[in-house]
């Protein structure tokens, strides 16, 4: 196949979306498919991911930051008058929340800022990339017409680009939903915007050969919603990045039981407080534990730890390069997985889970107790999943006893990650793409 991939995120920009799409491109290339990629130049990301595709196959383009005027005005006002602060959301949209005691002018500015965001960030904040993405994609299509366009979102501007380029070049395409679009429970949109997005989403999806998503529950949801062929392709782990020998036990980083979390926290939706409460319940044994966060905002971690009375046990460090993150995970005693404990989270299966399986370290999961991660952890005997501080405290005592007795926490057996490699998942994706192409030939 000759494949044109569209993705805002791509290595070396370090984001979880870039990891997935970069690996997919690499596997397509290694299987003998001709791959070209059109990606955004995302200056706000550390460029620490390895580029595993020949550089001449990747075309980074310019983009227009449509939020530049809004952000400049807001920043100027904040410096002069102490106005609102931007609050990040999981879908990448920045909205403004008023500080306590904000004056009416600040409230009005907040409403105007949010209206600006809702109106011009359509379908999302990367809409300013669309003209350059389409121009470069059409140039590639003219030079070497692809058999298939593969567009991955979010941002969902990528799917809009896939739809438009497919229509203009008569090239079939597949849409990848790494996250939900209109149905994302993290969205906080006014009804008029949601309705417009819903119409756009359906129009875009109706033109596809099929949909790829990242879990079986989401695949079933989209199958029912759109009636399109669906493939659930989990993120998986790259066996070359996670090459471990069965008897390769890591050396403990500390005499304490070290619990590690790598990634960001979304306020109110990824809550470490059950763990912190469990630590408080340990009594004197709490001093034998340490919880370390990499890449989380300190202001979303420290206040929670302080409320639970365990701030002395918690550390927060900046994000680290991908390869360093793998080594940190491997050296940890326990890996912490956080999810939203809301039924709306059903089907969410973060890429981090597969990294944790890749390093074969026990996982402590908090959040939705009947979600996909919880089922994976329980079915594969890969750790413990609960939101009950008392039960978590009991499990921590067991791990403390194991570490005191053996000097370390035993790794999971290799069978725990069986079938979860990116290679296995890629084979499913390759088959799906070939099958969908055959259906139109």
pLDDT tens for each residue of 30-57:
999 999 999 998 768 889 899 999 999 9
β-strand partners of 34: 2
Q: Does 244 fall in a domain?
A: no
Whether pLDDT at 142 is above 80: yes
Tell me the mean pLDDT in the region 106-134: 86
> b/e for 237-249, b at 16 or more Cβ within 10 A?
bbeebbebeeeee
Q: Based on the domain organization, do 162 and 73 belong to the same domain?
A: no
How large is the average pLDDT for residues 306-326?
A: 94
- When pLDDT is averaged across residues 88-117 and rounded to a whole number, the result is 61
Mean pLDDT of 262-290: 93
Least confident of 23-27, 240-244, 306-310, 420-424: 240-244
Q: Quick check: is 27 in a domain?
A: yes
Residue 305 has pLDDT above 80, yes or no: yes
Domain annotation covers residue 320? yes
CA distance 111 to 298: 28
pLDDT confidence bin for 115, thresholds 50/70/90: confident
Same domain, 47 and 79: no
Q: Say what the pLDDT of residue 46 is.
A: 86
pLDDT at 245 over 50: yes
In a domain, 247, yes or no: no
Residues 420-426: what's their mean pLDDT? 94
The verdict on 156 and 293 lying in the same domain is no
Q: Is residue 413 part of a domain?
A: yes
Do 58 and 73 share a structural domain? no
Q: Is the pTM of this model over 0.85?
A: yes
Q: Among the listed ranges 65-79, 252-266, 287-301, 309-323, which one has the minimum average pLDDT value?
A: 65-79
Residue 114 and residue 26 share a domain: no
What pLDDT band is residue 367 in, cutting at 50, 70 and 90?
A: very high
Compute the average pLDDT of residues 173-196.
Answer: 94
Structure confidence at residue 303 (pLDDT): 95
**pLDDT recorded at residue 80:** 63
Q: Residues 205-229: what's their mean pLDDT?
A: 97
Determine the average pLDDT of the residues in 158-183: 97
Query: Residue 379: its pLDDT value, please?
Result: 96
Q: Is the pLDDT of residue 98 over 90?
A: no
Same domain, 327 and 218: no
Does residue 339 contact residue 345 with C-beta atoms inside 8 Å? yes
Q: Is the pLDDT of residue 92 over 60?
A: no
How would residue 88 be classed by pLDDT, with cut points 50, 70 and 90?
very low
Residues 315 and 214 in one domain: no
Would the pLDDT of 365 be above 90?
A: yes
252 part of a folded domain:
no
pLDDT band at 69 (very low <50, low <70, confident <90, very high): confident
327 and 376 assigned to the same domain:
yes
Q: What is the CATH number of the domain that holds 412?
A: 3.40.50.2000
The reported pLDDT for the residue numbered 90 is 47
User: Does 306 reside within a domain?
Assistant: yes
pLDDT at 103: 56
Residue 309 pLDDT > 70, yes or no?
yes
The reported pLDDT for the residue numbered 406 is 92
Residue 171's domain comprises 2-64+125-236+422-438
Q: What is the pLDDT of residue 100?
A: 47
Report which of residues 89 and 1 the model is more confident about.
Answer: 1
Judge if 270 and 379 occupy the same domain. yes
End-to-end CA distance of the chain: 13
Rounded mean pLDDT of the chain?
Answer: 90
323 and 358 within one domain: yes
Would the pLDDT of 85 be above 50?
A: no
Give the pLDDT mean for 357-381: 96
- Residue 216 confidence (pLDDT): 95
Is 180 inside any structural domain?
yes
Give the model's pLDDT for residue 246.
Answer: 52
The 3-class secondary structure across the chain, one letter per residue, is CEEEEEECCCCCECCHHHHHHHHHHHHHHHCCCEEEEEEECCCCCCECCCCCCCHHHEEEECCCCCCHHHHHHHHHHHHHHCCCEEECCCCCCCEEECCCCCCHHHHHHHHHHHHHHHHHCCCCCCHHHHHHHHHHHHHHHHHCCCCEEEEEECCCHHHHHHHHHHHHHCCCEEEEECCCCCCCCCCCCCHHHHHHHHHHHHHHHHCCCEEEECCHHHHHHHHHHHCCCEEECCCCECCCCCCCCCCCCCCCCCCCEEEEEECCCCCCCCCCHHHHHHHHHCHHHHHHEEEEEECCCHHHHHHHHHHCCCHHHEEEECCCCHHHHHHHHHHCCEEEEECCCCHHHCCCCCHHHHHHHHHCCCEEEECCCCCHHHHHHHHCCCEEECCCHHHHHHHHHHHHHHHHHHCCCCCCCHHHHCCCEHHHHHHHHHHHHHHHHHCCC
32, 168: one domain: yes
Query: Each residue of 284-308: b (16+ CB within 10 Å) or e?
Result: eebebbbbbbbbbeeebbbebbeeb
Instruction: Answer yes or no: do 275 and 408 share one domain.
Output: yes
pLDDT of residue 114: 78
Percentage, residues of the chain above pLDDT 70: 91
Q: Is 60 exceeded by the pLDDT of residue 143? A: yes
Over 70: is that where the pLDDT of 326 sits?
A: yes
pLDDT-derived band of residue 280, with 50, 70 and 90 as boundaries?
very high
Q: Structural domain tally of the chain?
A: 3
Residue 227 has pLDDT above 70, yes or no: yes
Backbone torsions φ then ψ of 92, nearest 5 degrees: 90, 0
Whole-angstrom Cα distance, residue 394 to residue 120?
A: 51
């Amino acid at each position: 196949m000759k494949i044109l991939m569209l993705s805002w995120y791509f290595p070396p920009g370090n984001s979880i979306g870039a990891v997935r799409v970069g690996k997919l491109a690499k596997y397509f290339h290694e299987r003998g498919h001709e791959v070209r990629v059109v990606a955004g130049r995302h200056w706000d990301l550390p460029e620490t991911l390895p580029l595993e595709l020949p550089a001449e196959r990747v075309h980074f383009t310019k983009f227009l930051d449509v939020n530049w005027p809004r952000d400049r005005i807001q920043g100027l006002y904040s410096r002069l008058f102490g106005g609102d602060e931007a609050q990040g959301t999981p879908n990448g949209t920045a909205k403004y929340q008023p500080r306590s005691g904000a004056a009416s002018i600040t409230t009005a500015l907040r409403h105007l800022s949010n209206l600006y965001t809702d109106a011009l960030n359509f379908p999302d904040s990367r809409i300013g990339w669309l003209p350059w993405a389409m121009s470069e994609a059409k140039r590639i299509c003219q030079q070497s017409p692809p058999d298939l366009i593969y567009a991955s979102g979010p941002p969902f501007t990528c799917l809009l680009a896939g739809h438009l380029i497919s229509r203009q070049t008569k090239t079939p395409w597949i849409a990848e939903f790494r996250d939900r679009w209109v149905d994302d429970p993290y969205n906080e949109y006014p009804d008029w915007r949601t309705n417009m997005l819903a119409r756009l989403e359906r129009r875009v999806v109706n033109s596809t050969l099929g949909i790829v998503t990242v879990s079986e529950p989401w695949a079933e949801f989209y199958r029912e919603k759109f009636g399109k062929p669906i493939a659930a392709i989990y993120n998986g782990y790259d066996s070359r990045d996670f090459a471990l020998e069965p008897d390769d036990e890591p050396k403990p980083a500390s005499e304490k039981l070290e619990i590690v979390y790598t990634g960001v926290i979304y306020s109110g939706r990824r809550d470490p407080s059950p763990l912190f409460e469990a630590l408080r319940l340990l009594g004197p044994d709490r001093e034998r534990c340490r919880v370390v966060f990499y890449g989380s905002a300190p202001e979303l971690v420290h206040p929670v730890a302080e409320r639970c009375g365990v701030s002395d046990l918690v550390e927060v460090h900046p994000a680290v390069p991908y390869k360093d993150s793998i080594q940190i995970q491997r050296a940890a005693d326990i890996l912490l997985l956080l999810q939203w404990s809301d039924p709306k989270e059903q089907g969410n299966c973060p890429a981090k889970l597969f990294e944790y399986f890749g390093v074969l370290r026990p996982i402590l999961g908090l959040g939705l107790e009947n979600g996909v991660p919880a089922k994976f952890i329980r079915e594969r005997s890969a750790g413990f999943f609960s939101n009950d501080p008392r039960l978590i405290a009991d499990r921590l005592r067991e791990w403390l006893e194991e570490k005191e007795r053996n000097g370390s926490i035993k790794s999971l057996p290799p069978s725990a990650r069986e079938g979860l490699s990116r290679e296995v998942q890629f084979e499913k994706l390759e088959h799906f793409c070939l099958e969908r192409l055959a259906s139109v030939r």
